[in-house]
Amino acid sequence: MTTASAGELLYEGKAKKLYATEDGDRLLVRYKDEATAYNGEKHAMIPGKSRLNHEISSLLFSVLEAKGVSTHFIERLSDKEQLVRKVTIIPLEVVVRNVTAGSFAKRFGQEEGIVLPFSVVDFHVKDDALGDPLATDDQLLVLQYAGKGELETLKQRALEVNDILKEYFADKGITLIDFKLEFGYTEAGELIVADEISPDTCRLWDQKTNEKLDKDVFRRDLGSLPETYEKLYKRLTEGK
Ligand code: TMP
């Protein structure tokens, strides 16, 4: 277990704070008890959320690492802090969808819960002021958010993560409906999965009942977020 302490605050987002450490290649992520939805329109302090997202994210990054996918995760440091590799983030949200839900269902007038014939990857530009707009490959290329080969690599890597996580959750009786990834480059130029993978960034439904085990309970006022995340965490760790 490494000891690392939080140095200079480098960045504060909606769900996490990022600090420098004594090691220039490593950063400390401290998860926050804040929940936001609809681009910050809905906002609440939720005690316990930081611990649960930190633990679930640590677990899912470890699942990916064990299957050979490089991520920024190094180790847990406390009940809400983790040590990660420093990367330069690509300013794109890479979304993978297995089943219709959320903005995809809304945009195309689809019911939620229809299994897609193949997994779809879509890119959103990370820009709160613009509401993280969906962008086509050509739009991303012309605006130089990424190169052609880079987009292909991101898609392929995201689908690889999808295969691993879909199987992992299915084993626990949970359907991975959709999720968002962020990627970054290390100083050495390695492309790795970064940010977080948690019920804030995934849609997860119970296979039998379709009960929502993710942030939609907060977005749509369907129940208690900490109770839902705790239930998910227990299912992942204790099979309960
Ligand atoms: P969407 O249906 O709202 O486009 O979301 C698709 C998935 O991506 C869902 O699991 C939530 C996740 N997501 C984020 O984690 N952050 C975001 O800013 C957005 C738009 C989606």
Q: What is the spatial distance between Cα 150 and Cα 114, in angstroms, rounded to a whole number?
A: 30
**Per residue in 111-155, pLDDT tens?**
999 999 999 999 999 999 999 999 999 999 999 999 999 999 999
Which residues approach ligand 1 with their CB closer than 6 A? 93, 95, 101-104, 124, 132, 178-180, 201-203
| Stretch 205-225: mean pLDDT | 98
Residue 16 has, within 13 A of its CA and on its CB side, a CA count of 25
Q: Find the 105 Cα to ligand 1 centroid distance in Å.
A: 12
Q: Kindly give the number of the ligand 1 atom that is closest to the alpha carbon of 104.
A: 2
Pick left, alpha or beta for residue 25 (phi over 0 → left; psi -120 to 50 → alpha; otherwise beta).
Answer: alpha
Mean pLDDT of the 167-173 span: 98
pLDDT tens, position by position, 84-106: 999 999 999 999 999 999 999 99
> What percentage of the chain has pLDDT greater than the value 70?
99
Q: Give the separation between CA 58 and CA 68, rounded to whole angstroms.
A: 15
Q: Write b or e for each residue in 161-198: b if 16 or more Cβ atoms lie within 10 A of its Cβ, otherwise e.
A: bbebbbebbeebebbbbbbbbbbbebeeeebbbbbbbb
Q: Please give the structure tokens belonging to residue 235.
A: 């299912």
Q: Of 124, 119, 116, which is closest to residue 146 (Cα–Cα)?
A: 124
pLDDT class for 30, splitting at 50, 70, 90?
Answer: very high
Is the pLDDT score of 4 beyond 90? Answer: no
Give the pLDDT score at 240: 61
Say whether pLDDT at 1 is over 80.
no
**53-92: per-residue pLDDT in tens?**
999 999 999 999 999 999 999 999 999 999 999 999 999 9
Quote the mean pLDDT of the chain.
Answer: 97
Rounded distance between C-alpha atoms, residue 33 and residue 50, angstroms: 5
Distance (Å) from CA 171 to ligand 1 centroid:
23
How far, in Å, is the centroid of ligand 1 from the Cα of 140? 18
Q: In degrees, to the nearest 5, what angle opens at C-alpha 121 toward C-alphas 118 and 219?
A: 105
- Give pLDDT, residue 40: 86
**Which of 201, 215, 218, 220 is the best mutation target for the ligand 1 pocket, counting ligand atoms within 8 Å of the beta carbon and taking the most?**
201
Q: Is the pLDDT of residue 226 over 90?
A: yes
Cα-only R_g, the chain: 17
- 122 Cα–ligand 1 center, Å: 11
